Structure 1
Amino acid sequence: MFKKMAADALGLSDIGKVIHPNDFNQTDANDFIREAHGEKIYFLIKTKADEYCFTNLALIHIDGENAVTSKRTMRRYPYYKFPIDNVSLETAGRIDLDVEIIFNIGDEKVTIAIARREVEYAKQIYRALLHISEIIYDNQVIKGLAEKSLEHASRVLQHVHLTQNDLLSEYKKVDEYTFDRLREYDQAYRTKDFTDIFEQYIYLR
């Protein structure tokens, strides 16, 4: 018990181990996978207190207060609702026991320590998260341009001289068109499933 408490106090309990696919079913995060929606675990890091589970749809964080309590909180961060950005990989120095994956997901900053000997696996998830962040950024830029284009078209219509009845009719058409186009843009540029990215970068052995 005292050894465990000492490790927790020194931060050693926060160093994670990469869990391999054959052992996914032994983790707490596995109980929260939405298999009916095609969700699949691709990368899972486990410390004595926490689990960080990366699926094709979301980050699932099983949050333990520390290594000596059994209390856990499950938090789910779908990638389309909580954009990933500012991804970095901090490699180990000569005396460090770990490397760190650091990124933002929504408004949360996440720092995950991984055992130094598993640095090659850390590079895999780093590359995957970096690519996901780039896709999300590009999608946001395109959606922003599309919205500005529709706003411009709407302003132009306001200066067209029409009778009141025609004006009401045209506004209705523009309103319906704008709604439909924004919905199309949202569906086209709001990526929810990143299976192809994880398949490209993650190859646990």
Structure 2
Amino acid sequence: MDEYCFTNTAFIHLDGQSATSKKRMLKRYPYRYFAPSQVSIETAGMMDLDVELKFHLGGLAFSIDIDKSQIEGVRDIYKALTAIAERCQAIRHDEMVLEKSFETVTGMFNLKDVPEAVIMSLPTVINQTVQKVEAGYNERLNAIRQYDFGVVFEHYLRD
């Protein structure tokens, strides 16, 4: 009863609730907040007719049963989810490095040890410098936060 969709920015789950109910719940899990992890494919014996794609999104476990005849497509999704997981981890690392760098640079503007007369002559220079640092920080942060994984899906899920 459940339906699933992997998009370039999120995983979408249409929960069928139960076989006797028409009630359905649509849930969206943006990769930005629900990074994939623990991606695996479980194949069973020769008699089974399905394979399971298993993964976690932000701590939520998913197991999707897929017809065994679709194994190549499942492998492609596995590769794409693994690549997205690695990229999300790299984004988090880059954000952390940027944040530490920003804190270090802004910490250099601690003026508690500078004489007041000097401080009074610096407001314009400090203000301009802080604005440039903040602008550079925001520009770099926007460059890092690329959570559109369309290129990954295009690479792994070719027709």
TM, length-normalised to structure 1:
0.66
Q: Which amino acid aligns with 2:146?
A: T
Stretches of structure 2 lacking an aligned partner (at least 5 in a row): none
8 Å contact kept, 1:83–1:133:
yes
TM, length-normalised to structure 2:
0.82
Give runs of ≥4 in structure 1 deviating > 6 Å.
Answer: none
Query: What is the aligned partner in structure 2 of residue 195 from structure 1?
Result: 150
Moved more, 171-180 or 188-197: 171-180
Aligned-partner Cα distance in 1 for 2:103–2:156: 39
Q: Quick check: 1:179 aligned with 2:131?
A: no
Query: What is the aligned partner in structure 2 of residue 142 from structure 1?
Result: 94
What SS does the aligned partner of 2:109 have?
helix
Query: What is the aligned partner in structure 2 of residue 161 from structure 1?
Result: 114
CA 1:173–1:71 in 2, change beyond 3 Å: closer, same or farther?
same
Stretches of structure 1 lacking an aligned partner (at least 5 in a row): 1-48
1:119 pairs, out of 66, 71, 76, with 71
What SS does the aligned partner of 1:146 have?
helix
CA 1:196–1:150 in 2, change beyond 3 Å: closer, same or farther?
same
Mapping of 1:36-55 within 5 angstroms? 49-55=1-7
Aligned-partner Cα distance in 2 for 1:171–1:65: 59
* Deviation, structure 1 residue 90: 2.0
Moved more, 169-178 or 110-119: 169-178
* Deviation, structure 1 residue 197: 0.9
State the number of aligned residues: 156
Aligned-partner Cα distance in 2 for 1:78–1:118: 25
Q: Which amino acid aligns with 2:3?
A: E
* Deviation, structure 1 residue 168: 5.0
Query: What is the aligned partner in structure 1 of residue 10 from structure 2?
Result: 58
Q: Quick check: 1:129 aligned with 2:117?
A: no
* Deviation, structure 1 residue 95: 4.5
Aligned-partner Cα distance in 2 for 1:154–1:104: 37
Moved more, 131-140 or 74-83: 74-83
What SS does the aligned partner of 1:125 have?
helix
Q: Which amino acid aligns with 1:98?
A: D
1:100 pairs, out of 29, 32, 52, with 52
* Deviation, structure 1 residue 80: 2.5
* Deviation, structure 1 residue 60: 1.6
* Deviation, structure 1 residue 170: 5.6
* Deviation, structure 1 residue 115: 1.8
Aligned-partner Cα distance in 1 for 2:48–2:130: 59
* Deviation, structure 1 residue 110: 1.9
* Deviation, structure 1 residue 180: 1.9
* Deviation, structure 1 residue 57: 2.5
